[in-house]
Structure 1
Amino acid sequence: MAANRSLDPKSVGLAEAQLARVATEGCARHPHLKTLLEAVGPNCGRDLADAVHLLCHLHGRYPGLIEVALQRAPSSAAQAWLQQASDGFERERLYLVRLTASVGPLPSTPGAAETEASLSSARNALETLATSERMGCALGAATALVGDWWPIRRMLDRAASRAGLDCPAPSLPNEASIVEVIHRASETPASERALAFGGEQLLLQHRGLFDLLEARTEARSGY
Structure 2
Amino acid sequence: MAGRCAIASIVDQEGTLSCDHAAALCTPDAAARDVADAVHVLCQLHGSAPSIVALAARSDGAEAVGPWLEQAVAAFDEERAVLAMLTAAVGPIPSTPRHTQAEAAINSQRHALGTLAQSTRAGCAGGAALAFLLDWHAIRPVLDSAAQRAGVALPRAALPARAAIIALAEHVAATPSQARALAFGAQQLALQHHGLWQLLRARAEARAAL
Matched, 1:222 2:175: no
- Larger Rg belongs to: 1
CA deviation profile, 1:76-132 (whole Å, cap 9, x unmatched): 441232012212111111101110011000000011111011101101110111111
Q: TM-score, normalised by structure 1?
A: 0.88
- Read off the aligned partner of 2:17 and give its amino acid letter: A
TM-score, normalisation: structure 2:
0.94
Shift of 1:221: 1.1
String of CA shifts for 1:39-87, please: whole Å, max 9, x gaps. 427xx11110000000001100000211111122579441232012212
Q: Output aligned runs, 1:1-223, within 5 Å.
A: 12-40=1-29, 44-73=31-60, 76-223=63-210
Task: Confirm or deny: 8 A CA contact 1:84 1:173 kept in the other structure.
Answer: no
Report if the CA contact (8 A) 1:66-1:82 is conserved.
yes
Cα distance in 2, alignment partners of residues 141 and 117 from structure 1 = 22
Structure 1: gaps spanning 5 or more residues: 1-11
Instruction: Please report how far the alpha carbon of residue 142 of structure 1 lies from its aligned counterpart in structure 2 after TM superposition.
Output: 0.7
- Cα distance in structure 2, aligned partners of 1:139 and 1:76: 8
Quote the RMSD (CA, aligned, Å): 1.7
Match of 1:150, SS state, is: helix
Contact 2:130 2:165 in 1 (8 A): yes
Structure-2 separation of matches of 1:129 and 1:23: 19
Whole-Å separation in 1 of the counterparts to 2:166 and 2:39: 29
Percent of counterpart pairs with the same letter?
Answer: 45
Of 89-98 and 187-196, the range deviating more from structure 2: 187-196
Q: Which runs of 5+ in 2 are unaligned?
A: none
